[in-house]
Amino acid sequence: CACSLAATPAVRFYAVWRGVLDQPAARKVHRRATPLLGGAAVYAAFAVTVLYNFNFSLQLKGVAVGATLIVALGLMDDVLDLPAVLKLLGQVAAAGLAIGYHVILSVVPSGVPGAIWLDVLLTVLWFVTVTNAVQFLDGMDGLASGLGVVAALFFGITALQTNQKYLMYLSAALLGACLGFLPYNFRPGRGALIFLGDGGSSFIGFTLAGLAVMGEWAKDNPVVALLTPMLILGVPLFDIAFVGLSRITSGEVHSLGGWLAYTGKDHVHHRFADLGMTQTQSVLLILFISLTLGLSAMLLKDALPHEAALLLGQAVCVLAIVAILETVGRGKSAR
């Protein structure tokens, strides 16, 4: 936390000096040019914390190496505005690096032909999906970094409960890095001093995806093991699925290339704003929704079958309410 608190002003000064600024535009909510590159401060704080504690596992190294490529690519995008396809290829390459260190999902039964390759394919898809899901939510001050704090908190608590020390260290490092950045990014009524940029939001998303894969969330219960990280990351996963489906059904996108290149104000925070909420209200509501889903995930591990069903039912109801609000918001914005 202290590292990112100290590093962010220096990064902000550099971004202003080099003119790396996010200019206001029709699809954006900020009204003044704001420095980018905040991801460099978050990454530096994360890296210093991990290196200082020097608690490494093979998988931790894999997530760290992949995240380094992601943040480098994101920072280049902040400066040069890279094509969407190139960014996607970089995300696939970063996932491949993590997989090389055995950061691999294990969801396909071993008896299925080609099970290991299917797991590898699903792992790449998971990394790319979560990375982009978090990045897409970096549209209001404090949202992506706040979601990083909430998700890392619940990953860390669950890791502590299950005696996964390496996972706990990595979660704590990400939590502190995001928390130290928040005071510069989330300033209700005053506007952010600096943005995460693609380098920061994609780094947070990739690292959270890695935490989910690294964790052993439940012994002898593959359903709970699968659902725990999905609930912790429920908000970004729901948003990318809901928006993707909406764009396809409305005819706004017709191909993968079109989906990658499409930019619009149709994510959950935009829809909440269309309902008349302020930016601060929208961000806080989304963070509280994420907290609710995280609490369900934390309790799921030790829940009896009927208790687990109730927790999942609660999560479904929460997301259904969000879907209804988004639909109403979409209708208002179309008028």
* pLDDT number for residue 80: 87
**In this structure, are residues 101 and 61 in contact, taking their beta carbons and an 8 Å threshold?**
yes
- How many whole angstroms separate alpha carbon 289 and alpha carbon 280? 14
Residue found by looking up tokens 């996010």 in the block:
22
| Tally of domains in the chain | 1
The answer to whether 227 and 221 have CB atoms below 8 angstroms apart is no
What is the number of other CB atoms lying within 10 angstroms of the CB of residue 142? 26
Distance CA 99, CA 70 (A): 14
SS (H, E, C) the chain: CHHHHHHHHHHHHHHHHHCCEECCCCCCCCCCCEECCHHHHHHHHHHHHHHHHCCCCHHHHHHHHHHHHHHHHHHHHHHHCCCHHHHHHHHHHHHHHHHHCCCCCCCCCCCCCCHHHHHHHHHHHHHHHHHHHHHHCCCCCCHHHHHHHHHHHHHHHHHHHCCCHHHHHHHHHHHHHHHHHHHHHCCCCCCCCCCCHHHHHHHHHHHHHHHHHHCCCCCCCHHHHHHHHHHHCHHHHHHHHHHHHHHHHCCCCCCHHHHHHCCCCCCHHHHHHHCCCCHHHHHHHHHHHHHHHHHHHHHHCCCCHHHHHHHHHHHHHHHHHHHHHHHHHHHHHHC
CA–CA distance, 328 with 322 (Å, rounded to integer): 10
How far out from the chain centre does Cα 332 lie? Answer: 27
CB-based contacts of 334, cutoff 8 Å, min separation 6? none
Retrieve residue 270's tokens: 């935009």
Instruction: Kindly provide the b/e burial profile for residues 122-131, where b requires at least 16 CB atoms within 10 angstroms of the residue's own CB.
Output: bbbebbbbbb
Distance CA 47, CA 285 (A): 30
Q: What backbone phi and psi angles, to 5 degrees, belong to 207? A: -65, -40
Q: Looking at residue 280, what is its pLDDT?
A: 92
The separation between CA 243 and the C-alpha centre of its own chain, rounded to angstroms, equals 16
Block means of pLDDT (10 residues each) for the chain, 335 residues, are 85 88 66 84 91 75 93 92 90 96 87 88 96 92 95 94 87 94 90 90 96 83 83 95 84 68 77 88 95 92 82 92 83 56
In terms of Cβ atoms closer than 10 Å to its own Cβ (0-12, 13-18, 19+), residue 120 is: middle
Say what the pLDDT of residue 218 is.
72
Task: Note whether 293 and 231 are within 8 A (CB).
Answer: yes
pTM for this model (two decimals): 0.92
In one-letter notation, the amino acid at residue 153 is L
- pLDDT, one tens digit per residue, over 319-328 is 999 999 888 8
Domain containing residue 298 = 2-334
The pLDDT assigned to 203 comes to 96
Nearest-5° angle of CA 300, CA 303, CA 304?
140
Residue with tokens 């978090």: 134
**How many degrees, rounded to 5, is the angle at CA 212 between CA 207 and CA 215?**
120
Q: How many CB atoms lie within 10 A of CB 218?
A: 18
Residue 199: per-residue pLDDT: 92
pLDDT value for 153: 97
